[in-house]
């Protein structure tokens, strides 16, 4: 095989490698309902974020503002190992009963509560340590009575009850909750949202069970790191295998 053919093989394999590296971040975004059972205002997550940020064009379905929903199910703490959370607001009839925390991905019954049902945003930041026995990774949960929803979709029977917003920068954004005080959804005050921090938007009713998936029932800012699950990356590899095989067959025919 000549040098040119070898170079073409290298190019094909490099292209495949780049595609594999990005495939886990392209699974798509969970749709957010266009309306809300809570009325308008406050509206769905997009409308709520426009009010909080003062950015009239904000769109919670813009990939620039979202973490792919295949990549926000498993999390790790920041370099210090802990998780810092700030409750921003709760727009839900269940708000006085909704609690929030982290859970063990290997045993969903093992949880560390961060905010009790009585909490009302804006709260002071709360730091919790991830138990070492959990292996360094964890998920987030929202619980009310006997119902619990998890960040990992497989723990919800495949449903996605949490979406994640990101601040793509370059600077901080201010989240002003004053417009939500009169409804009892927040206690007032502003929060600075930095790049590298995330906002978790929760739906507190079962998806497909008559719930309007507005994802603004609880909004929590977290200082943690989302980690794509290995199964997502494996799926990306399997999807791209036909591409690799086709590319190599073409090169072989030419040489």
The verdict on 14 and 93 lying in the same domain is: no
Q: Which residues pair with 87 in a beta bridge?
A: 220
What is the predicted pLDDT for the residue at 37? 85
The verdict on 162 and 38 lying in the same domain is: yes
The verdict on 127 and 237 lying in the same domain is: no
Residues 105, 91: Cα–Cα separation, whole Å: 27
Residues 171, 25: Cα–Cα separation, whole Å: 23
Count of domains observed in the chain: 2
The verdict on 214 and 92 lying in the same domain is: yes
The verdict on 247 and 222 lying in the same domain is: no
pLDDT over threshold 70, residue 26? no
What is the predicted pLDDT for the residue at 11? 38
The verdict on 250 and 172 lying in the same domain is: no
Long-range Cβ pairs for the range 94-97 (8 Å, 24+): 94/144, 94/204, 94/217, 95/120, 95/184, 95/185, 95/217, 95/218, 97/144, 97/145
Residues 184, 114: Cα–Cα separation, whole Å: 21
The verdict on 215 and 237 lying in the same domain is: no
The verdict on 212 and 192 lying in the same domain is: yes
pLDDT over threshold 80, residue 8? no
What is the predicted pLDDT for the residue at 81? 72
Decide if 223 contacts 212 (C-beta within 8 A). Answer: no
18 lies in which domain range? 1-24+228-255
**DSSP secondary structure code for residue 66 in this structure:** B
Instruction: Output phi, psi for 30, to 5 deg.
Output: -65, 135
The verdict on 54 and 79 lying in the same domain is: yes
Mean pLDDT along residues 216-234: 82
């Amino acid at each position: 095989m000549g040098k040119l053919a070898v170079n073409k093989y290298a190019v094909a394999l490099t292209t495949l490698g780049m595609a594999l590296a990005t495939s886990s971040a392209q699974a798509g975004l969970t749709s957010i309902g266009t309306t809300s059972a809570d009325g308008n205002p406050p509206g769905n997550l997009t409308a709520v974020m426009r009010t909080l940020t003062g950015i009239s064009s904000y769109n919670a379905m813009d990939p620039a503002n979202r973490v792919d929903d295949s990549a926000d199910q498993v999390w790790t703490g920041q370099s210090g190992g802990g998780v810092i959370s700030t409750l921003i607001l709760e727009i839900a009839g269940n708000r006085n009963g909704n609690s929030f925390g982290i859970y063990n991905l290997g045993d969903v019954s093992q949880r560390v509560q961060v905010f009790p049902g009585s909490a009302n945003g804006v709260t002071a930041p709360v730091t919790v340590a991830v138990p070492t026995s959990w292996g360094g990774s964890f998920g987030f949960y929202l619980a009310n009575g006997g119902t619990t929803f998890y960040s990992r979709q497989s723990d919800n029977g495949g449903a996605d009850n949490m979406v994640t917003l990101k601040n793509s920068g370059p600077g901080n954004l201010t989240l002003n909750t004053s417009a939500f005080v009169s409804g009892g959804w927040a206690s007032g005050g502003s929060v600075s949202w930095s790049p590298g921090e995330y906002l978790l938007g929760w739906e507190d009713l079962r998806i497909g069970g008559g719930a309007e998936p507005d994802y603004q029932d609880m909004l929590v800012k977290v200082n943690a790191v989302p980690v794509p699950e290995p199964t997502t990356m494996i799926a990306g590899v399997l999807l791209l295998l036909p591409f690799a095989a086709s590319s190599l067959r073409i090169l072989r025919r030419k040489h």
